[in-house]
Chains A and B, each alone.
Chain A
Amino acid sequence: MKISFRLLLGTVVTCLAFALAPAHAEFSPTKPIDFVIMAGKGGGADKMARLMQSIVEKNDLADRPLIPVNKSGGSGAEALVALKSATDPDHTIMVTLNSFFTTPLRQPGLEVDIMEFAPVGRMAEDTFVLWVNVEEGVNSFEEFLAEAKSRGADWVMGGTGSAQEDQIITDYLNDTYGLEIKYIPYKGGGAVAKDLAGNQIDSSVNNPSEALGFYEAGTVIPLVAFTDERLPMFPDVPTLAELGNEFAYYMQRAVVGAPGMSADAQTYYTALFEEVYNSADWQQYKSDKSLLGDFLPGDDLKEYWGVQRDRHETILKASGAMK
């Protein structure tokens, strides 16, 4: 009798547990998560994605591992199409940069609408700084303008991809200051940083995270920051606004889910990446690499996308990269 009572109790508890479980219906990944990186190895996006992965692993934040995959082809087109056609949207997320806005605008043929993607969270806004090799003998933005002007198309700027962040800034400099800087697209910021350090190119607009190693070694020097305020890391480097032109340009460092991701999965990933954002490692990295911006979850991120897309549309139309 005693035993059967226990059995009954056990059954009731089990039934209750089952009955309660669907009420929560919480999503949790059931297989490894595809973590697509929209750029090549060694660049800012790549380093950051791998850091996020490491933070998740180190603090055991997810039940299944994040598997980073670089899809750098065609200024992010490869990654966008991969996400759009993902067979399992609940297990496919991507680290994005601003080519998330520019590439679909420039290539309507891809039929990618970024508003269909699931906004997970913005992890930071990256900053841009103008760098030159120390051997150029250029020590200020004014000297840079004079030197670049005198060399015309022989002054070479390296950057990541075509008609995206780095080229937008280069085009701005060319238009505003009447320069003819030649722009060479690379697959990733790592290769740009290396070629600047090796004096293969004359300047870059790398993110601080990409150029920092060479800056500390004294191979490259920063001339001007494309931010609203001076970066705490480079207190002596003026912003372009101080030098007379109100131009600030940032890059989103955000995580997005594949189109068609369920709302539960999106909630799960937003919570996951908010934890990553709040981790000591991430905050440390943010301040070490001059990243700005707060965490923007879900709908706030979507709103931000709308603003950014309009801004990029204006920029691309002005530069002729888009009709």
Chain B
Amino acid sequence: MEVVQLLFEGVWAALQPLNLGLAFLGVVIGLFVGAMPGLGSVNGVAILLPFTFVIQQVTGSVSSPMIFLAAIYYGAMYGGAISSITLGIPGASTAVATTFDGRPMALQGNADRALVIAAVASFVGGTISNILFTGAAPLLASVALRFGNPEVFALMLLAFATFVGLGGDDIPKTIVSICFGLIMSAVGFDIISGAPRLLLFDSTEWFSRGIQFLVLAIGVYGIGEMLWTIRSSRNTIKMTSAQISMKRIVRALLWFRSCWKGTLIGSFLGFFVGILPAAGATPGALMAYGVTKMVSPRRRHFGSGEVDGIAAPESANNAASTGAMLPMMTLGIPGSPTTAVLLAGMVIWGLQPGPLLFTDNPEFVWPLIGSFYISNVIAVVVNLACIPLFLRVLRMPFSILSSLIFVLSVVGTYAAYQNMYDVWLMMFFGIGAFLLRILDYPLAPAVLAIVLGPIAEPTLRQSLLLSDGSWMIFIERPIAGPITICAIILLLLPLAGLLWRLRRRA
């Protein structure tokens, strides 16, 4: 009961004109940085951190600057979907999974539906995880602590398994694609011994930085997708131009009913992955996509414009962004790059993030939690209201749109790390992705692998160090065990299915 009262006071504080104005401003800025390829919430938050010192001096409150930054974080989660759907370039790393189905849907002339579903799913995901956060933050923090290296690795294994086990795609090709992504994620320095790995052309300067995930994602979905559209349509551009009318948008809202399953899976899974330190919103969204695809009866349609394929990652990335606040606030450990910046802000505002934050600084915590709810409402309203504007992009002839995609891909890649090497690499991946696509290789698994590889590898090696090399550590531990077994069953399912079919035929 006390929680309800504290929450009520928090929401009330967040509704004060100044805080409301900051939340609105933050959401709008977030939508913009999220929609710009190459810029994500981390850039927005890092660039505007100095501004929060001004806010703090003016308002004298520690929660107002944080409300502002958290609103940017949320806004960016909504914004990422916009360019993923309308241009096919992931606006932020968190929105990569949204391109899998959002882009095909837009090409079929249903971009409005995709955008509405993305916005509403984001809202539902954000709200569900806010409720979980409010009700059970300390409890969930202790769950996060139970997840050691073997548990996290088991979870990563499960994520890979969802992409292999029940996919409608060609399984050997999926595995090849995963392996490719894993190899790409291994370029750079060995995480434990520090030895350089896969330094091609003997160029430490180039490869010591490793291959950034966003470079691969923009290459595959920006350039690769553009080439594919050009090839498949040749001279006759058959892309249906999107229609704009409020009536269609309202009708799309009704469509949302058909993707409640993806939304729920995305919300809970996203939140859970978000609270594990080291993960964050990008793996959360990819895993939600994989799991939703696995349990859906329409899994064969995934990748060609399935509503659940948009709802799951979009609800998950919002849920995960709230989730990632949890280890940051209760354990003092950031779960994502953006929360690392937020953590730095909290230290300079004079707070000690950690197990005692909730008891020592209720005047900070509750208005912030209240603002999570408010920012979410603002974000969904602003987003829905702007959809007709976003759709104008799609009315451009493809000959113009494709050059826009090209320019944004190059600029976005450069903007992210200010390095020309990334731009060349991105082009290489784009052309490579196009060729692999002609050969019918699924590329989403490669993207998944380059995101999860850097999490899976250290946890695997640390676990094996712990167990003196025994693989049983993944089976024997009470939490890791069931997860590992599920993952192995999923991996073996296609084999079992094959045997079953052979027997029936015999």
Please give me the residue from chain A that is nearest to B353 by CB atom. A213
Please tell me if the beta carbons of B340 and A46 are within 8 angstroms of each other in the complex.
yes
Interface residue stretch chosen among A53-61, A137-145, A299-307: A53-61
Given A42, A82, A216, which contacts B343 in the complex, CB threshold below 8 Å? A42
Residues of A within 8 A of B278 (CB): 191
Residues of A within 8 A of B332 (CB): 42, 190, 193, 213
Q: Count the B residues whose beta carbon is within 8 Å of the partner chain — how many?
A: 50
Known: A42-B340, A194-B145. A107 touches B333 (CB 8 A): no
Say whether chain A's binding surface is mostly helix, strand, loop, or mixed.
Answer: helix
Residues of B within 8 A of A29 (CB): none
Bound: A184/B148 CA distance, A: 12
- Could you give, for residues 328-363 of chain B, a 1 whenever the CB lies within 8 Å of some chain A CB and a 0 otherwise? 000111100100110111011000111110000000
Bound: A212/B333 CA distance, A: 12
Residues of A within 8 A of B386 (CB): none
Please give me the residue from chain A that is nearest to B462 by CB atom. A184
Please tell me if the beta carbons of A50 and B341 are within 8 angstroms of each other in the complex.
yes
- Could you give, for residues 181-192 of chain B, a 1 whenever the CB lies within 8 Å of some chain A CB and a 0 otherwise? 000000011111
Given B195, B356, B458, which contacts A187 in the complex, CB threshold below 8 Å? B458
Quick one: which of B145, B189, B193, B337 has the most chain A CB within 10 A? Answer: B189
Bound: A109/B468 CA distance, A: 29
Residues of A within 8 A of B47 (CB): 65
Residues of A within 8 A of B290 (CB): none
Please give me the residue from chain A that is nearest to B143 by CB atom. A198
B50 within 8 A of A: yes
Residues of A within 8 A of B205 (CB): 81, 85
B96 → chain A closest CB, angstroms: 21
- Could you give, for residues 199-234 of chain A, a 1 whenever the CB lies within 8 Å of some chain B CB and a 0 otherwise? 110000000000011101101000000000000000
B253 → chain A closest CB, angstroms: 39
Known: A42-B340, A50-B347, A194-B277. A78 touches B209 (CB 8 A): yes
Please tell me if the beta carbons of B333 and A42 are within 8 angstroms of each other in the complex.
yes
Please tell me if the beta carbons of B46 and A67 are within 8 angstroms of each other in the complex.
yes
Known: A41-B337, A42-B333, A190-B332. A156 touches B355 (CB 8 A): no
Q: Count the A residues whose beta carbon is within 8 Å of the partner chain — how many?
A: 53
Bound: A55/B352 CA distance, A: 16
- Could you give, for residues 107-118 of chain A, a 1 whenever the CB lies within 8 Å of some chain B CB and a 0 otherwise? 101000000000
Please give me the residue from chain B that is nearest to A50 by CB atom. B344
Bound: A46/B347 CA distance, A: 12
Bound: A54/B46 CA distance, A: 10
Please tell me if the beta carbons of B208 and A216 are within 8 angstroms of each other in the complex.
no
Please tell me if the beta carbons of A216 and B189 are within 8 angstroms of each other in the complex.
no
B110 within 8 A of A: no
Bound: A127/B354 CA distance, A: 20
Please tell me if the beta carbons of A73 and B188 are within 8 angstroms of each other in the complex.
yes
Residues of A within 8 A of B277 (CB): 42, 190-191, 194
Enumerate B159-207 residues with CB–CB distance to A below 8 Å: 188-196, 204-205
Please tell me if the beta carbons of A75 and B194 are within 8 angstroms of each other in the complex.
yes
Please tell me if the beta carbons of B331 and A194 are within 8 angstroms of each other in the complex.
yes
A120 → chain B closest CB, angstroms: 20
Please give me the residue from chain B that is nearest to A57 by CB atom. B50
Please tell me if the beta carbons of A73 and B353 are within 8 angstroms of each other in the complex.
no
B348 → chain A closest CB, angstroms: 4
Please tell me if the beta carbons of A214 and B354 are within 8 angstroms of each other in the complex.
yes
B260 within 8 A of A: no
Bound: A191/B146 CA distance, A: 13
Residues of A within 8 A of B53 (CB): 54, 57-58
Residues of A within 8 A of B145 (CB): 194, 197-199
Residues of A within 8 A of B193 (CB): 74, 162
Please give me the residue from chain A that is nearest to B50 by CB atom. A57
Bound: A198/B347 CA distance, A: 23
Please give me the residue from chain B that is nearest to A99 by CB atom. B194
B212 → chain A closest CB, angstroms: 12
Known: A54-B345, A78-B188, A185-B462. A213 touches B334 (CB 8 A): no
Residues of B within 8 A of A41 (CB): 334, 337, 340
- Could you give, for residues 32-55 of chain A, a 1 whenever the CB lies within 8 Å of some chain B CB and a 0 otherwise? 000000000110001100110111
Residues of B within 8 A of A74 (CB): 188-191, 193-196
Please give me the residue from chain B that is nearest to A285 by CB atom. B347
Given A58, A68, A182, A194, which contacts B348 in the complex, CB threshold below 8 Å? A58
Residues of A within 8 A of B353 (CB): 213
A103 within 8 A of B: yes
A207 → chain B closest CB, angstroms: 13
Please tell me if the beta carbons of B49 and A184 are within 8 angstroms of each other in the complex.
no
Quick one: which of A51, A53, A184, A194 has the most chain B CB within 10 A? Answer: A194
Given A47, A85, A106, which contacts B194 in the complex, CB threshold below 8 Å? A106
Please tell me if the beta carbons of A51 and B347 are within 8 angstroms of each other in the complex.
yes
Please tell me if the beta carbons of A182 and B340 are within 8 angstroms of each other in the complex.
no
Given B46, B196, B348, B466, which contacts A281 in the complex, CB threshold below 8 Å? B348
Please give me the residue from chain B that is nearest to A32 by CB atom. B418
Please tell me if the beta carbons of B354 and A73 are within 8 angstroms of each other in the complex.
no
Please give me the residue from chain A that is nearest to B331 by CB atom. A194
Residues of A within 8 A of B331 (CB): 194, 197, 213-214
Residues of B within 8 A of A85 (CB): 204-205, 208
B83 within 8 A of A: no
B494 within 8 A of A: no
Bound: A103/B414 CA distance, A: 31
Quick one: which of B205, B210, B345 has the most chain A CB within 10 A? Answer: B205
Known: A42-B343, A106-B194, A191-B278. A78 touches B189 (CB 8 A): yes
Residues of B within 8 A of A82 (CB): 208-209
A291 → chain B closest CB, angstroms: 14
Known: A65-B50, A81-B208. A187 touches B340 (CB 8 A): no
Given A77, A109, A156, A213, which contacts B352 in the complex, CB threshold below 8 Å? A213
Bound: A75/B458 CA distance, A: 13
Please give me the residue from chain A that is nearest to B419 by CB atom. A87
Bound: A216/B337 CA distance, A: 26
Residues of A within 8 A of B210 (CB): 73, 78
Given B146, B189, B341, B465, which contacts A73 in the complex, CB threshold below 8 Å? B189
A125 within 8 A of B: no
Please tell me if the beta carbons of B462 and A216 are within 8 angstroms of each other in the complex.
no
A195 within 8 A of B: yes
A138 → chain B closest CB, angstroms: 19
Given B148, B355, B466, which contacts A213 in the complex, CB threshold below 8 Å? B355
B55 → chain A closest CB, angstroms: 12
- Could you give, for residues 144-160 of chain B, a 1 whenever the CB lies within 8 Å of some chain A CB and a 0 otherwise? 11111100000000000
A164 → chain B closest CB, angstroms: 10
Residues of A within 8 A of B147 (CB): 198
A223 → chain B closest CB, angstroms: 20
A249 within 8 A of B: no
Closest 7 CB pairs of A and B: A213-B354, A74-B194, A74-B189, A50-B344, A198-B145, A217-B355, A200-B148
15 pairs from A and B in contact (CB 8 Å cutoff): A42-B333, A50-B347, A65-B50, A74-B190, A76-B194, A103-B194, A185-B465, A190-B277, A190-B332, A190-B334, A193-B332, A198-B147, A200-B148, A216-B355, A217-B355
Chain A residues in the interface with B (C-beta under 8 A)? 41-42, 46-47, 50-51, 53-55, 57-58, 65, 67-68, 70, 73-78, 81-82, 85, 103, 106-107, 109, 153, 156, 162, 182, 184-187, 190-191, 193-195, 197-200, 212-214, 216-217, 219, 281, 285
Chain B residues in the interface with A (C-beta under 8 A)? 46-47, 49-50, 53, 144-149, 188-196, 204-205, 208-210, 277-278, 327, 331-334, 337, 340-341, 343-345, 347-348, 352-356, 458, 462, 465-466, 468
